[in-house]
Amino acid sequence: MRTRPPVQSPDTLVEPRLGPLPNGPAAAAVLAAGIGCFALGLLTVLSTAFPPLANVLQFYPPTGPLTGVSTLAVVVWLIAWLVYHRLWRHKQVRFTTVLVVTLVLIILGVIGTFPPFYNLF
Amino acid sequence: MGGICLLLTTGEALADLHGFILGAFFLLAYSGGLASLFALRIEWEKPTGVAMLIRQIKIGTVLMAVIIWLTVITGTYIVYPLYRAQYQQVLSITAWNTFAMAWKMHLAWIAPMLATAVAYVVIRYRSQLAGEARIRQTLEVLFTAAFAAAGVAGILGAFVTKVLPVH
């Protein structure tokens, strides 16, 4: 089996770098997607719980509050991506931790979009 | 005896574009994309094989990201308003809308964010992915989550279309 020895990072708490690019940019993209999913679920719950907010989120009235919910979720996703990319673009981060946090955010986001859940509020 | 019109109405054509063409393409392309990602390993492929796989995965993931964005945008801004206008009398009293359509139209927006993250990482890291097991596994997970979100939305949409078709 052909394997490459890892390049040891001076910080032994993070994963070793295996190639020319650090894993920071990938981690930023992954985590930002999780944050965007969470924002989608949160905004869905909030727009149901607060009817005045739902009215404000009717960016396109024929569709209703979904346009505001989805647009703001996308904006949150893009901002999170920009922020984390700038923070991590030259860094090697704990990718497993990023994946776990992202999965938790995605699951919470899915729960937030589930009608029996958001109708509780 | 009157004639039979076999042509689709505008609403039906738009709904078919959204679901049968765009949405179905994304779901069908998933298995090929996942298989290619799974095979992208330096211990399995020579450099020329890795380069070939990367090219396939780049095209595939970018295309899938574009397609799923078009799917959710057409659904939200074109098909859903038609549906909402046609069935406004029954929207609040049928579970096909209060559960199925309500969940589908929100859940679906998860897929394009995840699919775009996958496409970006593939483009950025290229053949380095073949040696980055953790990143690759993460992409497989996100790719599958995007497929699951789009799949559930698609199934719910197919059922809703049967009961409350857009004309």
Output DSSP code: residue B46. -
Alpha-carbon span B101 to A33, nearest angstrom: 23
Buried b (16+ CB within 10 A) or exposed e, A51-89: eeebeebeeeeebbbbbbbbbbbbebbeebbeebbeebe
Structural domain spans, chain B: 10-163
H helix runs in chain A, sequence order: 24-49, 51-56, 66-88, 95-113, 115-118
CA distance B112 to chain A (A): 9
Task: Give contacts of B 106-135 with A, CB under 8 A.
Answer: 106-107, 109-110, 113-114, 116-117, 120-121, 124-125, 128, 131-132, 134-135
Task: Please tell me the pTM assigned to this model.
Answer: 0.89
The residue-averaged pLDDT of B139-143 equals: 96
Alpha-carbon span B68 to B149, nearest angstrom: 11
Size of interface A-B (CB pairs under 8 A): 109
Q: What is the pLDDT of residues A17-73, one digit of tens each?
A: 667 899 999 999 999 999 999 999 999 999 999 999 999 999 999 999 999 999 999
Please count the residues of chain A: 121
Tokens of A119: 């109708």
CA distance A115 to chain B (A): 6
Structural domain spans, chain A: 24-118
A92 phi and psi angles, rounded to 5 deg = -105, 120
More confident residue, B39 or B121: B121
Can you tell me the ipTM of this complex? 0.90
pLDDT of res. A5? 53
pLDDT of res. A67? 97
